[in-house]
A and B are shown apart, each in its own frame.
Chain A
Amino acid sequence: MVLVLAIGDLHIPHRAPDLPAKFKSMLVPGKIQHIICTGNLCIKEVHDYLKSLCPSLHITRGEYDEDSRYPETKTLTIGQFKLGLCHGHQVVPWGDLDSLAMLQRQLDVDILVTGHTHQFKAYKHEAGVVINPGSATGAYSSITYDVNPSFVLMDIDGLRVVVYVYELIDGEVKVDKIDFKKTSTATI
């Protein structure tokens, strides 16, 4: 039972001052085992904050990130799943699911986590699953109207993943979940 937090596109301090208070009260250290961050934090203070939640922190570079040392893409294996991480501004057209599927095949991962569109999405195709955690602060985006703050928490348990989607809608935190599992013989 591994809890993985997928979060990104905070755009602090440029487009948002901080995470919503309700999100902050839920994100406490000690519960989460890994954090994967799509990018665009943008400053070191946010990096430190995320590091305090969990020491295992993986970030990819977004176009506004001030730390240029983050990689463009990252892959990691958690339990039985291979996860891929990329900010997404590199994949054109932005948010296009077929192009993201191409990236996923390139990285050869079961779950690809990307951002940039500031809109939550969970999409399944033959090669795997693409998850976009959206923007955790609800920062402005030129390609999405009405951005709601959102992030994703994945519970990886053996061959099964439960994706909990946390969204702040009208000041209230709404949580949904998505289940999927992988067949062990799937050569994705």
Chain B
Amino acid sequence: MVKKKRVPDWLNSPMWSSSTVTTSPPPKSRSLSPPPPSSSNDDRYGSYPSKSSSVTSSDSSLNEPHLPLPPPTSIKHEPIPIPTPRTRIRDSSTRSESSDNDISSYVEDVSRQSQLLEELSRKIINIGELRQLSLLGIPDGSGIRSTVWKLLLSYLPIDKGLWSSELAKKRSQYKHFKENLLMNPSEITRTLEVSASLKNGDLSEGKGLLTRSKLPQGEHPLSLGKTSIWNQFFQDSEIIEQIDRDVKRTHPDIQFFSGDSAYSKANQESLKNILIIFAKLNPGIRYVQGMNEVLAPLFYVFKNDPNEDYVINAEADTFFCFVELISGFRDNFCQQLDNSIVGIRSTISRLSQLLKQHDEELWRHLEVTTKVNPQFYAFRWITLLLTQEFNFTDSIHIWDTLLSDPEGPQETLLRVCCAMLILVRRRLLAGDFTANLKLLQSYPSTNVSQLLYLANKLRSC
């Protein structure tokens, strides 16, 4: 079978247009197309079964040889222990019974949840399986997501017995950071002083000239020395001001972040502390606008854990997970690396290449004909991990998939971005520079499961 360079037909199906096409429920038998087994195992792709059959009914002649092999998710599911085949059988029967996708997706959700819980209850967690399970999405309940994210970001070790000691260690380390780095210079100089503050008495004692004493290590507030803690403090205060401004602007529509209650103020305080400590510990990248957006979902998920202990220590846990997450993207934030191989420009060009590989027509139209430079839209997509393109809950779902990639979120992120472009290809192909740019910079709301399914499909091509 010669793989032609033209657009594969499954791309041209009405399914991929941005307006969600609700085609008629599957009348035909399923023997024509290999039933996509992935949908039997995930919750949110429940909408897919109806559409795939409509695809078969319309393009029956061409579809079968061109439909890609059953998505690799089915292959991946084989190593998973016995529960899976049972649920698969159960679900496929449910599917054929009712075209109501909600019921089947609920069942799949429950099965997913039980699989995850079972995985998490083991003494030694198989991180590979956990990654595969989370690839399809993590259910919202019982604090599963919070624990799974911590495992995926290597914060919690895979040996469950080590959890309490690891957590205690990390949390005390964070406390240490807070004490050292969030102190203002007055307090620091006080601790530096040798003694003698007892000598300089209270105002209520006797009278006499006050004694002058030497400065501790020559530190005084107007010091211009580079190593002076006062000087550093004043330089840091600019960054602290910026962090403060950005935190106040994070997610103004979500009560958790920007209400007037003491709870949201405390949350903002925590976000600020994390960012300030990160900036101080990483003089290389300090704080870059946008880090607050990357931090927000992490903190939200960890703070909403039903486990009391985790909630109290959410700040410390979030800090380390944030560090881990950013470390994969460090190079995107460093200005000097912009033009280098690891910098943001090269990442964007990789996205471009990916699009060219999968959908040359769209690529040509976008970059050559309408000259929409991917930097105009993809920069924000990539550096902020798509938090700004979707609403909060959707971006958390996307993050499930992003974090599950064993090689780091970057690869999956590029595939998701490519899928985003392909999903609106019809509008893009019809648009000129202005229209396309407008569309891509405020990406229309879309079915996230569809998006993720397509992104996953791109992996197999």
Please, which residue of chain B has its CB at the minimum distance from the CB of A128? B203
Known: A1-B185, A180-B210. A31 touches B234 (CB 8 A): yes
Contact present for A155 and B210 (CB under 8 Å): no
How many Å lie between the Cα of A35 and that of B374 in the bound state?
52
Q: Is the C-beta of B222 less than 8 angstroms from some C-beta in chain A? A: yes
Which of A61-69, A136-144, A171-179 sits within the interface? A171-179
Which of A12-20, A39-47, A116-124 sits within the interface? A116-124
Chain A residues with CB under 8 Å of B221's CB are: 3, 31, 153, 155, 164
24 contacts between A and B (CB under 8 A): A121-B209, A122-B209, A124-B203, A125-B206, A126-B204, A129-B203, A155-B186, A155-B221, A157-B186, A164-B220, A164-B222, A175-B215, A175-B220, A177-B212, A178-B210, A178-B213, A179-B200, A180-B203, A180-B210, A181-B202, A181-B203, A182-B203, A183-B202, A186-B203
Contact count band on A: 35 or more
Contact present for B222 and A26 (CB under 8 Å): yes
How many Å lie between the Cα of A163 and that of B214 in the bound state?
12
Contact present for A178 and B212 (CB under 8 Å): yes
Within 8 A of B (CB), among A3-27: 3, 25-27
| Besides A122-B210, A176-B214, A177-B220, 5 new A-B residue pairs in contact (Cβ under 8 A), listed by A number | A122-B209, A123-B209, A124-B205, A183-B203, A188-B203
Contact present for B211 and A178 (CB under 8 Å): yes
How many Å lie between the Cα of A177 and that of B189 in the bound state?
12
Q: Is the C-beta of A103 less than 8 angstroms from some C-beta in chain B? A: no
Please, which residue of chain B has its CB at the minimum distance from the CB of A30? B234
Chain B residues with CB under 8 Å of A157's CB are: 186-187
Interface SS of chain A: helix, strand, loop or mixed? strand
Most A Cβ at <10 Å: residue of B204, B208, B213, B215: B204
Q: Name the distance in Å between B131's Cβ and chain A's nearest Cβ.
A: 48
Q: Which residues of A contact B (CB under 8 A)?
A: 1, 3, 25-27, 30-31, 110, 121-126, 128-129, 153, 155, 157, 160, 162-166, 175-183, 186, 188
Contact present for B224 and A182 (CB under 8 Å): no
Q: Is the C-beta of B35 less than 8 angstroms from some C-beta in chain A? A: no
Chain A residues with CB under 8 Å of B207's CB are: 123-126
Point out the residue from B185, B208, B224, B234 that lies within 8 Å of A124, measured CB to CB: B208
Known: A123-B210, A176-B214, A178-B213. A166 touches B222 (CB 8 A): yes
Interface SS of chain B: helix, strand, loop or mixed? loop
Q: Which residues of B contact A (CB under 8 A)?
A: 184-187, 189-190, 196-197, 200-215, 218, 220-222, 224, 234
Chain A residues with CB under 8 Å of B218's CB are: 175
Q: Name the distance in Å between A67's Cβ and chain B's nearest Cβ.
A: 27
Please, which residue of chain A has its CB at the minimum distance from the CB of B201? A180
Chain B residues with CB under 8 Å of A165's CB are: 212
Contact present for A129 and B222 (CB under 8 Å): no
Chain B residues with CB under 8 Å of A124's CB are: 201, 203, 205-210
How many Å lie between the Cα of A30 and that of B187 in the bound state?
20
Chain A residues with CB under 8 Å of B205's CB are: 124
Known: A31-B222, A162-B186. A178 touches B200 (CB 8 A): yes
Please, which residue of chain A has its CB at the minimum distance from the CB of B211? A178
Chain A residues with CB under 8 Å of B204's CB are: 126, 183, 186, 188
Most A Cβ at <10 Å: residue of B184, B190, B212, B221: B221
Q: Name the distance in Å between A70's Cβ and chain B's nearest Cβ.
A: 25
**A-B residue pairs, 4 tightest by C-beta:** A125-B207, A179-B200, A26-B222, A176-B212
How many Å lie between the Cα of A3 and that of B222 in the bound state?
10
Chain A residues with CB under 8 Å of B184's CB are: 1
Most A Cβ at <10 Å: residue of B190, B196, B218: B190
